[in-house]
Structure 1
Amino acid sequence: MYLEEVNQFKTIMLHVKKFLVSLLVLSFSLACFSQKYQLTNGKKFHKVKFELINNLMVIPVEVNGTELSFVLDSGVGTPILFNLSDQDSIQLNNVTEITINGLGEGDPINALKSTGNKVKLGNVQNLMQNIYVVMDAGINFSPNLGVPIHGIIGYDLFRDFVVDINYTNKSIKFYDPDSYTHRTAKNSRVLDLSVIRKKAYLNAHVLVKDDKEVPVKLLLDTGSSDAVWLFEDDQLKIPHKYYEDFLGKGLAGNIYGKRTKIHRLKISDFVLKDAKAAFPDMETFNSIMDFGGRNGSLGGEVLKRFNMVFDYGNRKLVLRKNANFNKMFTYNISGINLEHAGVRYVAERIADRNGVVHNNERTYGDVQIILQGATRLSLVPEIIVSGIRQGSPAHSAGLQEGDVILAVNGKRIYRYKLQEIMTMLNEKKHKKVKVLVERYNNNLLFSFVLKPLFD
């Protein structure tokens, strides 16, 4: 009897083990399945419109029911949230504390890791998305772009779809890889991609000086507004003509380096002459232990010159040059960096003494008060000088960090977006620019001439 009971017990335990193994396999399968992005409603693709702001693609993303704005950043792995001060109602699931590294001159930063979040882009959704949350209020890209930016998202979308980016009409199509058929046009090129540690790379060639072309492996970084970054080494030497510059902001702080131009950037048989380039200070990359053999990165100012299809699954990139291809590369020749710094009121008279309204156009602001039908009081963004390059025309003219910009060449800047104001300040070489600023409650007018940087 005892042996019979033992055998029955062994049989029961065997079934229990098989059930547990099956349950574990099922749970693992469901976890893998649910952590991927999928198209809903039987769709084969979903189209998303984006704003192109300072060469960056800003897309609408819904996180646990809250609508946010994200930069589509092919250089980021797990999505990162920041600038949540005005989004106190957002729900984040299963939160733990972590430390993450990022580009910049600072130390690693404390963050939160949240799991099991529902992320949607229209008919594209992931029911179990992991998200990092950076709580440092100093990490905020919104002031530099002039619009609210709540986070960055990238690899998971590129991994799960064939991603067709059309910079011409500012749209992205996310295709189901199983039903997508490549249609290669005559003027397009198919390039090999390598995807390493959630980042995509392609091979190109650069001609830095009047020497031989140098083969380079470049990170594809849609989250960089710059053109091309190169890492100095024995073959990639910094040209004699350059200037020290602020290159951008990373999660760990500001990034500085040497700004210059190179004779040629060649991607397949697409050739960009006199391409804008930068050699970042390598201290910026102290947190990166292994570059994977890369020599730099390609950012939005180059990528926007193509319409492209990313196919991570087949390790392919399809490029087709668009109307931006032959546009001149832009430089900050004035030396002024701008950012939003809160809001201010401006008053405008919109009617004459007889009560006839002559000026009733909207300003670049949402809050407006009409006083006695004759004066409009508008709440508009305040634009300040956030940085100024030593020795630049604006610096030599006397402008200072912290100056509030009121007008450029007689145009009141509250009617314009931040990037439009930057264009006014850097529009044409040899042009005279007049800038009206407020400093310590005094209005001051400065003028300077935009001098070419490399002539």
Structure 2
Amino acid sequence: MEKIPFSIIGNHIMQIPVKVNGNEVKFLMDTGIGPTVLSRDFVEELSLKKVGTMIGKRMSGQELELPLVKVPSIEAGNLVRENLEVGIFDTSSFPPVLEEIKGILSIGFFKGSVLTMNYSGPFLEITDTTARESQFDHGTRVPVEIEYNGPSVSLYVKIKLPSGRLGKFEVDTGSDLLILNSKLMAELGVTHDDPNVESFKGTDETGHDYERFLAEMKGAIALDGYPDLMQEKPKVIFQDIIHDGLIGHDFLKRYIVSYDIDHKEMIFYKR
């Protein structure tokens, strides 16, 4: 077992130490990023050559064309990936607190291993999948739907909303609060003119304008079939997105969570 300490920047951004071609640098860890990515400046510093492109989508639906390069070596703890295909990401819009970040590690990097996020450490723990039966038998196993798009890996779980609706939610540690499709506002008893609902507008790094509404949900959300894995009256951001929702740090930090891509499971433990 290998433990990797991490720090939380702001409310939810997870920073971890990673070695790229033997040199230690600062990365973010984000299950919702899709592919592992390097910053454009870091790619130029390493003199990496483009090997292809992939087409992806942001949660708001914008298509992104992502150039791909191959990195000779990336290490996270004792896990080493060689000749790894990664995307090039523009970090020019990052705030100053993230100016030293060289890349973002995706959940796909840990395929073939079990990754555990222990928020009380805080640390990440990497375990061989062959040890899973003895090591993870005391946790609650939740099935995960996995979608692949080239080097991109995305995880989804079923969430039951207070209205009784079952939604398909992306697991996104790069988000803080629960994010829901704005089409669900009326169904959940949330209105734009409610004085307790905050609205704010902005523009993302692709130039897409958005409007978001922040509210406290009436009732609880829970993983479908696992009523004990729930959250009462969560803070919610409503936005026009292509998913039913995204579940992020605010929910996940309440547990120790293991991700086992090979067996299509997340395993939850009480902290």
TM-score band, normalised by the shorter chain? 0.7 to 0.9
Counterpart AA for 1:161: S
Q: Which residue in 2 is equivalent to 1:411?
A: none
Q: Which residue in 2 is equivalent to 1:266?
A: 222
Q: Which residue in 1 is equivalent to 2:190?
A: 239
Distance in 2 (alpha carbons) for counterparts of 1:71 and 1:60: 9
Distance in 2 (alpha carbons) for counterparts of 1:83 and 1:48: 25
Distance in 2 (alpha carbons) for counterparts of 1:222 and 1:247: 21
Q: Is residue 246–residue 257 contact of structure 1 (8 Å, CA) maintained in 2? A: yes
Change beyond 3 A, Cα 1:310–1:97: closer
Counterpart AA for 1:244: S
4+ aligned runs moved over 4 Å, structure 1: 99-102, 104-111, 234-238, 246-255
Change beyond 3 A, Cα 1:90–1:63: farther
Q: Which residue in 2 is equivalent to 1:167?
A: 119
Distance in 2 (alpha carbons) for counterparts of 1:88 and 1:311: 29
Q: CA deviation at 1:131?
A: 1.7
Q: CA deviation at 1:254?
A: 6.5
Distance in 2 (alpha carbons) for counterparts of 1:89 and 1:98: 17
Q: How does 1:33-52 map to 2 (within 5 A)?
A: 45-52=1-8
Distance in 2 (alpha carbons) for counterparts of 1:206 and 1:167: 25
Q: Find 1:199's aligned residue among 154, 165, 171.
A: 154
Q: Which residue in 2 is equivalent to 1:151?
A: 103
Residue 82 (1) aligns with residue 34 (2):
no
Q: Which has the higher strand share?
A: 2
Distance in 2 (alpha carbons) for counterparts of 1:313 and 1:173: 16
Q: Is residue 104–residue 255 contact of structure 1 (8 Å, CA) maintained in 2? A: no
Counterpart AA for 1:141: F
SS of the counterpart of 2:251? helix
Q: Is residue 111–residue 261 contact of structure 2 (8 Å, CA) maintained in 1? A: yes
Change beyond 3 A, Cα 1:277–1:193: same
Residue 318 (1) aligns with residue 267 (2):
yes
Residue 303 (1) aligns with residue 252 (2):
yes
Change beyond 3 A, Cα 1:96–1:298: same
Distance in 1 (alpha carbons) for counterparts of 2:209 and 2:259: 29
Distance in 2 (alpha carbons) for counterparts of 1:108 and 1:192: 28
Q: CA RMSD in A?
A: 3.0
Q: Which residue in 1 is equivalent to 2:29?
A: 72
Counterpart AA for 1:72: M
Change beyond 3 A, Cα 1:309–1:141: same
Q: CA deviation at 1:220?
A: 0.6
Q: CA deviation at 1:191?
A: 1.3
More divergent stretch after superposition (109-118 vs 166-175): 109-118
Q: CA deviation at 1:102?
A: 4.7
Tell which structure's C-alpha radius of gyration is larger: 1
Distance in 2 (alpha carbons) for counterparts of 1:194 and 1:99: 21
Q: CA deviation at 1:157?
A: 2.4
Distance in 1 (alpha carbons) for counterparts of 2:174 and 2:168: 18
Residues 77-122 of structure 1 deviation map (CA, whole Å, 9 limit, x = unaligned): 32112263xx587324342464654537796556532125211123
Q: TM-score, length-normalised on structure 1?
A: 0.50
Task: Pick 1 or 2: higher relative contact order, CA cutoff 8 A, min separation 6.
Answer: 2
Q: Is residue 48–residue 69 contact of structure 2 (8 Å, CA) maintained in 1? A: yes
Change beyond 3 A, Cα 1:89–1:165: same
Change beyond 3 A, Cα 1:83–1:261: farther
Q: TM-score, length-normalised on structure 2?
A: 0.80
Distance in 2 (alpha carbons) for counterparts of 1:317 and 1:106: 26
Change beyond 3 A, Cα 1:311–1:97: closer
Change beyond 3 A, Cα 1:88–1:119: closer
Change beyond 3 A, Cα 1:246–1:163: farther
Q: Which residue in 2 is equivalent to 1:229?
A: 179
Q: Is residue 56–residue 66 contact of structure 2 (8 Å, CA) maintained in 1? A: no
Residues 110-163 of structure 1 deviation map (CA, whole Å, 9 limit, x = unaligned): 6532125211123211111112113x463x3243x4563222121322322111
Q: How does 1:363-378 map to 2 (within 5 A)?
A: none
Q: Which residue in 2 is equivalent to 1:190?
A: 141
Counterpart AA for 2:110: F
Q: Which residue in 2 is equivalent to 1:220?
A: 171
SS of the counterpart of 1:118? strand
Residues 350-407 of structure 1 deviation map (CA, whole Å, 9 limit, x = unaligned): xxxxxxxxxxxxxxxxxxxxxxxxxxxxxxxxxxxxxxxxxxxxxxxxxxxxxxxxxx
Q: Is residue 37–residue 88 contact of structure 2 (8 Å, CA) maintained in 1? A: yes
Residues 9-45 of structure 1 deviation map (CA, whole Å, 9 limit, x = unaligned): xxxxxxxxxxxxxxxxxxxxxxxxxxxxxxxxxxxx3
Change beyond 3 A, Cα 1:130–1:243: same
Q: Is residue 188–residue 217 contact of structure 2 (8 Å, CA) maintained in 1? A: no
Counterpart AA for 2:70: T
Q: Is residue 182–residue 240 contact of structure 2 (8 Å, CA) maintained in 1? A: no
Q: What are structure 1's unaligned runs of at least 5 residues?
A: 1-44, 286-293, 323-455
Counterpart AA for 2:253: K
Distance in 2 (alpha carbons) for counterparts of 1:146 and 1:171: 20
